[in-house]
Amino acid sequence: YTTFSTGVTDDNGNTQSYWDAGSVFCWNSLTLNVQARYVKISPTEDNYEDSLLELVFLDSNGKKLEPVNRDEYKNLFDEQDEFEGRASAMNGTYFDEIYHGRTAYEMIHKLYCYENTHPPLGKIFIACGVLMFGMNPFGWRFMGTLFGVFMVPIIYLFAKRFFNKEWISIVTTLLFAFDFMHFVQTRIATIDVFVTLFIMLSYYFMYCYLQKSFYDTKLQKTFIPLGLCGVAMGLSWASKWTGIYSSVGLCILFFLHMYRRYREYVIACKTPRGQTNGISHAYIIDN
């Protein structure tokens, strides 16, 4: 956020000071029940990085007031029509957008990145939307919404492969598509949507790998879903550190799969002339 101090002076020279901590790339409001002739606004930190893009004064009835010296600060009062009467998520940042949307803007303009607690990939995606549509709510939310759309076919394919029934996969997809958390989370510019999509992909490809066995499938072919799982896992890490937690589950599934293959090998060694599910034990031993 950015912080500014506000002071007002009346006709008698009496000054009152206020302090306001505001979010970035949105309308910040400060309500004052005073009559004043002068208004002073100044940043509270000497970093020279804070900026005001537009300033709007309203009276008690919500009518816009124009300062008598507005011509001396033309850039502060040249977009009065952009103010829609009240601040909302439709015309400014909301929740963690003050971090991720801002950082996307800073990446584009090669400025110091304010939010650096997580890897940059998710914010790079947000920056792509800003480059296409501008630094506005639509621009910084576009890529997250697009990734939210991509999640729908992924959940369908996952359910189809897992349950092997068309109607179950359709019901699963509909439940996911109309889930409130998915609907809301993918419509704000946070990096959670990106890490979630890559986690979904990593588990989908891991499940594809678990359905294969190098005893009945060429080893090189089993590497394809496993490699795609690794790529998706890496992209989840690059989007947000919480992707690392999901990797624990992937590791457990992988080693359980290896243990299962080992058990098959042990059983095959005990009965080398037998077979399991149409696969000869001699073939398992040799491979």
- At 62-102, the pLDDT tens digits run 788 888 888 888 888 877 777 777 766 677 777 878 888 88
Per-residue pLDDT, 67 = 82
113, 135 in Cβ contact below 8 A?
Answer: no
DSSP category for residue 109:
T
Residue positions counted in the chain = 287
- Rounded to whole angstroms, the Cα distance separating 254 from 251 reads 5
Centre a 10 Å sphere on the Cβ of residue 198 and count the other Cβ atoms it contains: 24
Average pLDDT per block of 10 residues along the chain, 287 residues long: 71 71 71 78 68 78 80 80 72 79 86 85 92 90 93 94 92 92 89 94 93 74 90 94 92 88 69 63 59
**Residue 49, SS3?**
coil
Cβ atoms of residues 30 and 91 within 8 Å: no
Q: Can you give the pLDDT at residue 110?
A: 86
Q: In angstroms, what CA-CA distances link 42 with 5, 15, 18, 204?
A: 5, 15, 11, 53
Q: Please report, for the chain, the start and end positions of each structural domain, with discontinuous segments joined by +.
A: 2-82, 144-282
Rg (C-alpha) for the chain, rounded Å, is 29
What is the model's pLDDT at position 74?
80
Apex 108 CA angle, 105 and 109, nearest 5: 90
Distance CA 23, CA 4 (A): 11
- How many beta carbons lie within 10 A of that of residue 2, not counting itself? 21
Q: What is the pLDDT of residue 1?
A: 46
